[in-house]
Amino acid sequence: MGNVFGKLFSISTWGESHGPAIGVNIDGCPPLVPIVREEIQAELDRRRPGQSRITTQRREADIVEILSGVEASLSTGAPIALLVRNEDARPEAYEHLKDLYRPSHADYTYQAKYGIRAWQGGGRASARETIGRVAAGAIARRILKDAHDVEIAACVKRIHDIEASYDLAAITRERVETTIVRCPDLEAAEKMIARIEEVRRQGDSVGGVIELVARNVPVGLGEPVFDRLEADLAKAMRSLPATKGFEIGSGLAGTFLMGSQHNDPFYLDGGKVRTRTNRSGGVQGGITNGEDIVIRVAFKPTATIQKEQETLTKSGEPTLLRAKGRHDPCVLPRAVPMVEAMAALVLVDHWLRLRAQRGPEVKSSPGATPPEKAMPLDAEHRKE
């Protein structure tokens, strides 16, 4: 319960922060999808700790192992199991926290709900759980790329009170990866890095906002009423550790506009239905309209800090805590691939639903992706 995400493309993550391993089981991946271990590894490398001077210095290679569901680099249609072993776990470093509740962590709520908790690094509440999501997201990304050339890219838009300035076209993998903070505005990126280093020295932390763009998304993904695409995207993003907010399109800023200012006018572009503006963020009525999906996800400051804080012991005694251990002073740079992965998982799940609903005789409206253009997952297609 609570560890499974998706309906047709379903993932189940498992493992604890300081246990032997972390992993994911993927069910519903169509057969004959290219599964390239190096592609999965590349995404995990973007998420792994110790990758730069502004991230946690826990040293993990995060090498992925494919245990099942793949033969000759192609999915077989069977469940896919992926595993990453923990190599630099140090549960003893958390011994001083065994009988304390860390402020703004899941320690108290897990203890209250289950009567037991993994105090070694937070267990399932740790962001290390997202390894499984990122690994599965790499496969989802491959399916979407083959089917519709879907491109998913995210970047750091804001850290603390430093906000980047860029056009959405600047959010590309190549440009985002040019800085360790993953911000396409190079001037703002330098300020962000300096701010993160400053708060690390102070024993504190900062949060911020990640912005994502998904391009070439086909028309028709999403379902009324409870499975609206933006609702599933919101749930996906808010399920990530440390998230505090979600926006799509104009987001909260749209509430300051009149309807005449906010509406996206339609026009015909070479026989394809388009909108002149995209304040809807690519989704209308819970269903994609073919424009770019644009979302933003807010992350709080890392809860573990080295400054002294008031807290309680399990027995209710007041005490002071100065946390130890290896932690990110800002989660944003490593959260970029996590946000991309969750977007890919939502989109591939809804694409498979649309593919199942549409038959070959269904006619598409102007601007919609015809069913015959959907990826034919068969051996003949693979030979091409």
CB neighbourhood size of 84 (10 A) = 25
Give per-residue pLDDT as tens, 49-98.
Answer: 878 888 877 778 899 999 999 999 999 999 999 999 998 777 677 788 88
Residue 181 lies in a domain: yes
Q: Is 383 a member of any domain?
A: no
Residue 337 lies in a domain: yes
Helix 37-47 with 332-357: angle, nearest 10 deg: 140
Q: What is the pLDDT of residue 378?
A: 42
Residue 185 lies in a domain: yes
Question: Distance of CA 133 to CAs 16, 143, 243, Å?
Answer: 14, 15, 15
Tokens of 166: 């860029």
Asked if residue 382 is part of any domain, the answer here is no
**What is the full per-residue pLDDT of the chain (384 aa) written as tens digits?**
689 999 999 999 999 988 899 999 999 999 999 999 999 999 999 999 878 888 877 778 899 999 999 999 999 999 999 999 998 777 677 788 889 999 999 999 999 999 998 888 788 998 999 999 999 999 999 999 999 999 999 999 999 999 999 999 999 999 999 999 999 999 999 999 999 999 999 999 999 999 999 999 999 999 999 999 999 999 999 999 999 999 999 999 999 999 999 999 999 999 999 999 999 999 999 999 999 999 999 999 999 899 999 999 999 999 999 877 668 899 999 999 999 999 999 999 999 999 999 854 434 444 544 444 444 444 343 333
Task: Name the token pair of 93.
Answer: 């470093």
Question: Residue 319's domain spans which residues?
Answer: 4-376
CA 222, 226, 231, 232 torsion-angle sign: negative
Residue 384 lies in a domain: no
Q: Which alpha helices (H) appear in 203-262, and where do they start and end?
A: 229-238, 259-262
Distance separating alpha carbons of residues 209 and 242, to the nearest angstrom: 11
Identify the burial level of 359 via C-beta atoms within 10 angstroms of its C-beta, where 0-12 means exposed, 13-18 middle and 19 or more buried. Answer: exposed
CATH number, domain of 27, equals 3.60.150.10
Pairing of strands 243-248, 208-215: unpaired
Residue 30 maps to a domain? yes
Q: Are 162 and 188 in contact (CB under 8 A)?
A: yes
Q: To 10 degrees, what angle do helices 130-148 and 37-47 make?
A: 130
Burial of 139-150, coded b for 16+ CB within 10 Å and e otherwise, reads bbbbbbbebbeb
Is residue 341 domain-resident? Answer: yes
Output the pTM of the full model: 0.92
- ∠ CA 172-300-91, nearest 5°, is 100
Lookup: tokens for 247: 């926006």
CA distance 112 to 146: 46
Our CA angle for 132, 60, 195, nearest 5°, is 95
Average pLDDT across the chain, whole number: 91
Domain count, the chain: 1
Which single residue is written with the structure tokens 């809860």? 303
Distances in Å between the Cα of 188 and the Cα atoms of 82, 166, 185, 197, 302 are 37, 10, 5, 14, 21
CA distance 317 to 17: 27
* Amino acid present at 361: E
